[in-house]
Amino acid sequence: DTAVSQTPKYLVTQMGNDKSIKCEQNLGHDTMYWYKQDSKKFLKIMFSYNNKELIINETVPNRFSPKSPDKAHLNLHINSLELGDSAVYFCASSQAASGRFWYEQYFGPGTRLTVT
């Protein structure tokens, strides 16, 4: 049983296109995240939602727009794709933060985006 799933696993597209990546978790978690991992494996948080509410919005181009239809889903839409957007995108989820304490995160398998 997959805990955090992402689709698609691979995405190859041309510059200027618009694409979406979907994420679903069946862990009953309240918080979901999007991360970007570059070619050097550096992992950087992009967005976080808690119960469908945006709580983290890092310095990300506004071509990236997350959407959370319910607390089990967090999708990422990217407009006008650029070469620099090529990376692996990971979705993750965790229990909601308790005060200042955050719990371990569960990651999806990743979506490798290649922009040509």
Partner 1 sequence: SQQGEEDPQALSIQEGENATMNCSYKTSINNLQWYRQNSGRGLVHLILIRSNEREKHSGRLRVTLDTSKKSSSLLITASRAADTASYFCATDTGANSKLTFGKGITLSVRP
Shortest distance in whole angstroms from residue 22 CB to partner 1: 15
60-99 binders of partner 1 (CB under 8 A): 90, 92, 97
- Report d(CA 58, CA 72) in Å as an integer: 21
Number of residues that bind partner 1 (CB under 8 A): 25
| Cβ neighbour number for residue 70 with a 10 Å cutoff | 9
Beta carbons of 81 and 13 less than 8 angstroms apart: yes
**Near partner 1 by CB under 8 A, which window of 22-30, 60-68, 77-85, 101-109?**
101-109
Asked whether the CA dihedral 103, 108, 109, 112 is positive or negative, the reply is negative
Instruction: Restricting to residues 2-61, name those near partner 1 by CB under 8 A.
Output: 4, 40-45, 48, 55-56, 58
73-78 β-sheet, strand order:
4-7, 19-25, 73-78, 64-70
- Residue 108 interacting with partner 1 (CB under 8 A): yes
User: Site residues (CB under 8 A) for partner 1?
Assistant: 4, 40-45, 48, 55-56, 58, 90, 92, 97, 100-110
